[in-house]
Amino acid sequence: MCSSDLWRGLSFLLRSSRQLAEPHLRNLVEKETYRPISILVPAYNEEKTIVGTVQSLLNLRFPEFEIIVVSDGSNDRTLSLLDEAFQLEAQSPAHRKLIETKPVEAVYRSRLHPRLVVLEKERGGKADALNAGLNFARFPLVCHVDADSVVEGDALLRGARIFGDDERVVAVGGGIRPLNGSVVADGRVEVSKVPKSWLERFQVVEYARAFGARAGWGSWNSLLLISGAFGIFRRESLLQIGGHRPVTVAEDLDLVVRLHRFHRDESIPYRIVSLPETMCWTQVPSDFRSLRRQRNRWHRGLWEVLWNARGMLLRPRYGRLGLVVLPYFWLFEGLAPLVEVAGYLSIPLLMLSGAFDPVVVLSLALIATCFGLLLSFIGLLAETLRDGGRGRTVREQGLLVVAACLELLGFRQLLALERLWATFQLGRRRGRWGEVRRHEFGREVVELPATRSMDATSLEIEEPVELDEEKVKKEVGGSA
């Protein structure tokens, strides 16, 4: 990541904030302009968060959408809690199997909300669960949402607008913010609060820094990653590349790279866009063991994808992607832990050998520290600009500034060691995710009395189109 990426993302934020004003969002609900969306929610043992996530999705302001929750071999109370909350009713499991997946054992539809469908299938992993949901999806756009996330009320409106404006767009991502500590009401984040633990605060800084840079890559049409927590895709494009590859632990990164490669190989004009606005809030690990497992998986997944895409490296036919972006990810993401740890180890070796020059070493350390802080502060500034009236207090902003400084003293070094260790585990831990602890929204997120959020009332959008249950049954039966 470099400062130019963040500056480019910041300027894109300012431009897009004008383009995404309320009048533009209102135009999306006109009959001829919007495209209906199928929301896919893969869930494996998500009993602590699944009901809250589905409730937040049901509250989304969009004219026509369906929610498909895929219980991927869950052995906890995920399915029973969904049944208790939404009164599920068994449906025919017949469907067109456009992509091969593990068997779907049962299909349910909510009697309270006909737009909600729940699939129960044999365990196959997150990518396989998304493919199963894609087989059942009926609409031209599909939105991937993690089961521990809260989606912004106007996220679909903002994402769908991009597809309506440009037929070349095949995927749209957005800003993801840590949910930990925030105030949630009626399935929506009302107030952005700073978490209580420093471990979580460090991750808030990391997310602000990372998503600011992604907007910059997106402006080059060179975005490699749309987070699995939230992304909207053209269904036809996903089917053309065969959906997700179940063999990787970085299904989100792998999917976007394959979309790039397919369209470049077929000489099809396309765009992959990252919106800087906050689209979704997701839980981040609250204990170091879960964080280590997460970052270990992320780095193993990065290497898997980079290796699979090695045929694109330094090839002019892939444009900036092959000549700039992939080399950057090899050098400054994949190999970064090795270089960083080697730098730390070189200091005592230089001291023992008598070649240690304190002026040179301290000068280099100061330059690197200031550059890292600059990236963090730009990311936090961009996050403040897009906060939408839910800004943090001056004290909370100060805590994040302190966190940006403290993360350089131990936190960053420990994660570098974990990522380095992950590099040497590629063969032994291929396809293994590692468990990450979840918390109920009510335990870490302060719940307020249910209220209508400002974005719902100010846009004056009609209630989402209710699906005709009999019509849906006929369509599902006829497509089998």
Q: What is the DSSP string of 290-337?
A: HHHHHHHHHHHHHHHHHHHTGGGTT-GGGHHIIIIIHHHHIIIIISHH
pLDDT of the residue at 104: 96
Contact 147, 85 (CB under 8 A): no
pLDDT of the residue at 480: 39
pLDDT of the residue at 189: 84
At 51 the three-state DSSP class reads helix
Cross-strand bridge partners of residue 232: 143, 172
Of the candidates 215, 232, 40, 14, which has an alpha carbon nearest to the alpha carbon of residue 119? 40
At 457, give phi and psi (nearest 5°): -80, -40
Contact 386, 154 (CB under 8 A): no
pLDDT of the residue at 473: 46
Relative to beta strand 446-447, strand 183-185 is parallel
pTM for this prediction: 0.85
pLDDT of the residue at 287: 94
pLDDT of the residue at 186: 72
At 280 the three-state DSSP class reads strand
Other Cβ atoms closer than 10 A to 166: 12
pLDDT of the residue at 297: 94
C-alpha dist (Å) from residue 186 to 47, 168, 254: 19, 35, 34
CB-based burial, 284-295: b 16+ in 10 Å, e otherwise? bbbeeebbbbbb
Please give the Cα distance from 452 to 463 (Å, whole number). 13
Each residue's pLDDT expressed in tens, for the chain with a length of 480 residues: 555 555 555 555 555 544 555 555 555 555 456 799 999 999 999 998 899 899 999 999 999 999 999 999 999 999 999 999 999 999 988 888 999 999 999 999 999 999 999 999 999 999 999 999 999 999 999 999 999 899 998 899 999 989 988 999 999 998 899 999 888 877 778 888 899 999 999 999 999 888 777 777 887 899 999 999 999 999 999 999 999 999 888 999 999 999 999 999 999 999 999 887 878 999 999 999 999 999 999 999 999 999 999 999 999 999 999 999 999 999 999 999 999 999 888 888 888 888 888 888 889 889 989 998 998 998 888 888 776 556 688 899 999 999 999 999 999 999 999 999 999 998 766 655 556 565 565 444 433 333 333 333 334 444 454 545 454 444 444 443
Please give the Cα distance from 373 to 368 (Å, whole number). 9
